[in-house]
Amino acid sequence: MSSDFETYEQDFGTLTAEITSRIVKIPKLAGVCSDGNDPEDEKKNMVVSVEKQLEEARELLEQMDLEVREIPVQSRGMHSTRLKSYKQELEKLEKDFKRSRIAYSDEVRDELLGDDGNSSESQLIKLRDERAHLLDNAEKLERSSRRLEAGYQIAVETEQVGQEILENLHHDREKIQRSRDRLRETDANLGKSSRILTGMLRRIIQNRILMFILGVIILFTVVLAIYFSVRGL
């Protein structure tokens, strides 16, 4: 189980390194490419590629999350901490990518405005308003993502607590079962002891009755002997 988690970790590390390298390159792509391609096309392709890699990174985190859930509770803490740090790293990459795309959009806007020196002030204001609107939406999405992440974390922690409670209840049930078995065994032994004592008491009573009868017989014999001896005189 942990070997699969480590494999996902290695893939995640390689993928995030590539994402970081490409995010840094996005705002810097300018001029004519070495292969003669349009630099704008290269930028767009780079953005699309980073988006796909970020999606792959999210899928890797989901796989690691599933692996962590299968790990026993007593050894799950270390993997959960590592997974949490990977999620934070991915969030940072997404923020860097967002800033990189904003810088790229500003650069495209400057190029468009540069081609037409007589662009009106209203167009510039409109672009600024659109940018502010996009930033506001991005912040809202980020806050929603944080709330979802917090809710998910609470659900995971609740699941862990539930599993621990179930394990404790299982251990308690085993203890109660063992105590019940011991009580049954003790009860059986007490039953045997009671039967033995009852048998011993019965034999004692029988012996006393026999002794009483024997004593009566002996006494009667002695009385007869004395009677006949006195009568013979």
Q: What are the pLDDT digits (tens) for 168-224? A: 777 788 888 888 888 888 888 888 888 898 889 999 999 999 999 999 999 999 888
The candidate with the shortest Cα–Cα distance to 60, out of 97, 14, 122, is: 14
8 A C-beta contact, residue 102 and residue 26: no
Would the pLDDT of 56 be above 90?
A: yes
**Topology (CATH) of 2-181:** Methane Monooxygenase Hydroxylase; Chain G, domain 1 (1.20.58)
Q: What is the mean pLDDT of residues 131-140?
A: 61
Task: Please give the distance of CA 196 from its chain centroid, rounded to a whole number.
Answer: 57
Question: Cα–Cα distance between 5 and 195 in angstroms, integer?
Answer: 64
Domain ranges of the chain: 2-181
The identity of residue 141, as a single letter, is L
pLDDT interval class at 14 (50, 70, 90): very high
Which of 4-18, 110-124, 125-139, 140-154 shows the lowest per-residue confidence on average (mean pLDDT)? 110-124
pLDDT band of residue 113 (cuts 50, 70, 90) is very low
pLDDT band at 27; cut points 50, 70, 90? confident
Question: Does residue 23 contact residue 100 with C-beta atoms inside 8 Å?
Answer: yes
Q: Give pLDDT, residue 127.
A: 56
